[in-house]
Chains A and B, each alone.
Chain A
Amino acid sequence: MDNYEFHWNVVFDAFPQLLSGAYTTIHVSVLSMLIGIVIAVLLALGKMSTTKAFYHVANIWIEIARNTPALFLIYMAYFGLGAYGIHLSPYFSVLCALIFINAGYLAETFRGGFQSIPQTQYSAAKSLGMNNMKVYRYIILPQMFRRIYHPMTNQFVWSILMSSLGILVGMNELSGETQRLQSSSFRTLEFFIVAAAMYFVITKLVLFGSNLVAKKIFKGEVS
């Protein structure tokens, strides 16, 4: 350590670029989460459906997403799809891989949440004269949402952290931007310390916000 001098000025000068990188990071993870949730609902329905084809597609999707590294799927989207003539930009290959994985993990979360609600509640609501719509709207979905809320937050945090793999395909999110900036100034250590701190702050803010929302909407009875 004795012969290393920290130069923070370079980092502070580049701070706007780092912030725009952080924006891209949040952007890609929010998008991957939103599209992932939509697909995950379909996959969860598929996993519970009796139609063979639908079930198998959902099952294969979920198992591939859960059992292969995120980096592999990003490479697959970036290099692998090129063999079919589909050339995705770094941003889209990371986005596609994250959507694929989020959908797979969330599908299992949704299915678990749905199956954790006893069948008897459905029958009880029916016997009170509710129609199918009302049963789901007032009985099943609110309870389910309570159970999947925290796993969903965790998945979102995971997406933020995993979008850092964009560094390996040259994407311009926070870590990619850091990599680009440090290579022109050679202050590797300073830049990555700041990037790490930024990731930490983003993650904590997300968790803090999520807890705040949870307290508001669940009114203290978080399962």
Chain B
Amino acid sequence: MNLFTPLSWNDTGFILTGILNTVYISIVAIVIGSLLGLVVGFLRAESNKSINMLLGALLDVLRSVPLIIQLILFSTFIGVMGFPLPPFYAGAIILSLYTMAFMSEVFRSGFNSVPGSMVQAARSLGMSYFQTIWYIRVPIGMRAVFPSWLGVALSVIKDSALVSVIGYMELLRTAEQLISRTQQPLMILIGVGVFYFMISYPLSRYGKYIERKMEL
């Protein structure tokens, strides 16, 4: 086995683009997905049963169809509709919606974890409805679900690898292209794995640490 790869220093720029693209699309999806998820989670915690069922059914579709099928379907669909988007936008839209489906569930349980008496107390202190949301329910509810939020965010970073299927040059796709040129799959793939691990592992440890601290 030859471990000396014909990789040259010129490839570092190429790999770096892949890394940056992975980080970029993950951050975009997490931020937009969290914001949308916060709104949808709030709606689900507040609204009555029928609206809840409807929203739940819509989110269910996003959660029970594989992400890769959603990506292919969406990029084909916009192509057919006549306004194709660059891979980044198509990927970011689907990844954000996918994130939203999971985040809304996290945030809904966050909103539900704030006791009703606390909200009533805030109202009796003269806070308006929106003030109780902004100063009481959001900060207290969100703090309670931070570890779950982190868990979903980490899975989004890992799932962002799937955006490669519609042609976005993220890390795994750059790796695949380097593999087909250099024919050295092992070295390159291990490097890629180490990169994902280095992002994900410290964050998951941090999440566990917070979780343990909150239990006490």
Contacts and interface: CB of A to CB of B under 8 A. Distances in A.
A82 B185 contact: yes
B186 interface: yes
B189 A67 contact: no
Interface of A: 1, 3-4, 63-64, 66-72, 75-76, 79-80, 82-84, 157, 161-162, 164-165, 167-168, 175, 188-189, 192-193, 195-196, 199-200, 203-204
B64 A161 contact: yes
Interface stretch (B85-93, B138-146, B157-165): B157-165
Interface residues of B, number: 39
B185 A79 contact: yes
Interface stretch (B13-21, B41-49, B73-81, B120-128): B73-81
B64 A68 contact: no
Contacts of B81: 1, 4
Contacts of B196: 67-69, 72
B214 interface: no
Interface stretch (B30-38, B104-112, B129-137, B197-205): B197-205
Given A168-B68, A192-B73, 15 more contacts: A67-B200, A67-B201, A72-B193, A72-B196, A75-B185, A80-B185, A84-B1, A161-B66, A167-B68, A167-B165, A168-B165, A188-B72, A188-B76, A200-B61, A204-B64
B158 A69 contact: yes
A20 B32 CA distance: 38
A78 to B, nearest CB: 9
A67 B65 CA distance: 22
Nearest to A82: B185
A68 B158 contact: yes
B68 A76 contact: no
Contacts of A168: 68, 165
